[in-house]
């Protein structure tokens, strides 16, 4: 806890430098603006609200639950042409096709996931699983991700996520495929299934847990309050979850996100996303090495206004963190599971 050391991340096959003593240094750098607390519940000018007009002229329905629609500014399109042939191995390119969708979690703009009911969160999970199955029928990779807060690049406060399906395996997916495949070959057990069992026994980095799920600050965490959400049984894909596991997932997500908000009593920013076994042509292949999981990457370090910057050494050498994962887990674990806004009421 007091001396720097490096830790190995078997999921990415790289290392992180842990320098816990650096968190004590004075800070005179950039201070972030806390997220606004006065987001209107409904705004006719907000393109994600029910009944609002989007950039392409389409009018949203008066939806009352989740709402999925094609991204008006997609990074991937299904009919992109093939790139030209390369004349040198240092200038390679490849085709990239896909679809991008947006999913609104709820019709109210001022209601984030930790403030939703369990039934509303369960509806989000069901919509995620449906999208993963539908798009995964033809695309090798379906990336579900949520950027929460302006600090993480979110341009609209309305609770929503994005779903990008691609004709290729992205870098992170390809890397996790290789490391998990290698671990199963060498140890005869899926890496993250074994890891969840170890963390459940050790308890040092557990934040919240229930019968079906475990949330830990991973041993190799890079971001200050990064967490890893893991099922206890072997599950390859989100759409493979049974009814009970979806209910318990809604519960553990709510508990984790309430703790996040309670840490600095602010709507906690993060980027999160689901990783599971590839789909499309991979549905016919043996993917037992994969274990479903979700990553949460929050940037805040010391307060609602001081964030962790991944610059300099992190960009040019390797990742570095300013407090140990055990310290971060203990702080999150000790927080109440009643949201600070609801306590105030």
Q: What three-state secondary structure class fits 128?
A: helix
72 is in an annotated binding site: yes
CB-CB contact of 95 with 236 (8 Å): no
- Is 33 annotated among the ligand-binding residues? no
- Answer yes or no: are the C-beta atoms of 282 and 139 closer than 8 Å: no
Secondary structure, 3-state, 179-203: HHHHHHHHHCCCHHHHHHHHHHHHC
Q: Which tokens belong to 67?
A: 């709402």
Do the annotations mark residue 145 as ligand-binding?
Answer: no
Tokens of 45: 């000018």
Is 339 flagged in the annotation as binding?
Answer: no
Annotated catalytic, 339? Answer: no
Residue 202 main-chain phi, psi, to 5 deg: -75, -35
Is 219 known to sit in a ligand binding site? no
**Any known ligand binding at 154?**
yes
Was 295 annotated as part of a binding site?
yes
Residue 185 in marked binding region: no
134 is annotated as contributing to ligand binding: no
> Is 308 marked within a binding site?
yes
Contact 234, 29 (CB under 8 A): no
Q: Which of 3, 5, 88, 160 is catalytic?
A: 160
- Asked whether residue 19 is marked as a ligand-binding residue, the answer is no
3-state secondary structure of 84: coil
Please work out, in degrees rounded to the nearest 5, the angle formed at the alpha carbon of residue 25 by the alpha carbons of 21 and 26: 165
Report whether 23 belongs to an annotated binding site.
yes
Q: Give the contacts of 232 (CB within 8 A, at least 6 positions apart).
A: 196, 200, 211, 212, 213, 214
Largest Cα separation within the chain, whole Å, is 66
For the annotated binding site for Fe cation, the residues are 176, 275, 293, 295
Please list the active-site residues: 160
Residues making up the annotated binding site are 22-25, 55, 71-72, 147, 153-155, 162, 176, 275, 293, 295, 308-309, 313-314, 320
- Annotated binding-site residues for UDP-alpha-D-glucose read 22-25, 55, 71-72, 147, 153-155, 162, 308-309, 313-314, 320
């Amino acid at each position: 806890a007091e001396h720097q050391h490096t830790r190995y991340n078997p999921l990415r096959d790289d290392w992180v430098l842990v320098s816990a003593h650096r968190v004590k240094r004075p800070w005179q750098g950039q201070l972030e603006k806390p997220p606004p607390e006065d987001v209107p519940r409904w705004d006719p000018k907000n393109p994600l609200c029910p009944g609002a007009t989007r950039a392409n002229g389409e009018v949203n329905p008066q939806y009352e639950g989740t709402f999925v629609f094609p991204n008006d500014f997609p990074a991937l399109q299904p009919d992109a042409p093939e790139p030209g042939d390369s004349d040198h191995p240092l200038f390679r390119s490849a085709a990239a096709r896909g679809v991008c969708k947006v999913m609104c979690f709820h019709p109210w703009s001022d209601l984030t996931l930790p403030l939703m009911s369990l039934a509303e969160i369960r509806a989000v999970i069901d919509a995620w699983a449906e999208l993963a199955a539908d798009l995964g029928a033809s695309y090798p990779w379906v990336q579900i991700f949520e950027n929460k807060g302006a600090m993480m690049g979110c341009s609209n406060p309305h609770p929503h996520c994005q779903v990008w399906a691609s004709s290729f395996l992205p870098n992170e997916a390809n890397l996790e495929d290789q490391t998990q495949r290698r671990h199963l070959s060498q140890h005869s057990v899926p890496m993250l299934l074994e890891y969840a069992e170890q963390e459940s026994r050790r308890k040092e980095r557990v934040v919240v847990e229930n019968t079906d799920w475990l949330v830990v600050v991973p041993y190799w965490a890079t971001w200050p309050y990064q967490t890893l959400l893991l099922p206890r049984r072997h599950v390859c894909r989100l759409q493979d979850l049974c009814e009970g596991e979806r209910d318990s997932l809604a519960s553990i997500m709510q508990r984790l996100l309430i703790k996040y908000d309670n840490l600095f009593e602010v709507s906690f920013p993060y980027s999160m996303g689901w990783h599971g076994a590839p789909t499309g042509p991979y549905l016919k292949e043996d993917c037992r090495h994969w274990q479903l999981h979700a990553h949460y990457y929050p940037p805040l370090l010391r307060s609602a206004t001081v964030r962790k910057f991944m610059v300099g050494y992190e960009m040019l050498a390797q990742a570095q963190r300013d407090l140990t994962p055990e310290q971060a887990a203990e702080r999150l674990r000790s927080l109440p599971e009643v949201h600070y806004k609801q306590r105030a009421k």
